[in-house]
Chain A
Amino acid sequence: SYELTQPPSVSVSPRQTATITCSGDKLGDKYACWYQQKPGQSPVLVIYQDNRRPSGIPERFSGSNSGNTATLTISGTQAMDEADYYCQAWDSSTVVFGGGTKLTVL
């Protein structure tokens, strides 16, 4: 079965750039999405179709996807961005989520 691999944790200083990766076989041939989930809350879609932001998502969130890796980039990271982030892709007729990355803003 298809797997997406994320680092368990990433740390970043306020106002710096956070980068979260998601790896999967030929992931660049699929569309990647990213979700943010804060404790006790439902996930929120922050990136879809590799690099598109839903309405209401700040411009500091961006995405890319090429080769075997999709990347979520948060520029000028703020304390409010501290959360778990999950990548997601479709593989054939199934949806696959990455294991999640806990972003800590130190």
Chain B
Amino acid sequence: QLQLQESGPRLVKPAETLSLTCAISGGSIRSSTLYWGWIRQPPGKGLEWIGTVYYSGGTYSSPSLKSRLTLSVDTPNNQFYMKLSSVTAADTAMYYCAGAGYCTGASCGFDPWGQGILVTVSS
């Protein structure tokens, strides 16, 4: 069964870079699904799509985050990453990684999800 686990610093200072890793178990980053994604949720607020990354390295990012966001894959270690630069308090959120699921062609939802990691931006 495919499982995802987020990891990274839980406290990041303003203006610094937020770096997260999503480790995949029970499957391969190459073949388990069409793409992998990042979604975040500020405390008490709704879900926001951050971006998606393909095992080939291709990426798509939210227009509102694109200038600060880097997405990548690490095929040998079966994990993928996100880096968000120049963070502010507005980037404080639960960050989830997820796989593409329930796909028909290139149209997919997000399934499964990791349990999420709460990242706080504060000095």
Q: Answer yes or no: do A and B interact.
A: no
Residues of A at under 8 Å CB distance from B? none
* Interface of B toward A, CB cutoff 8 Å: none
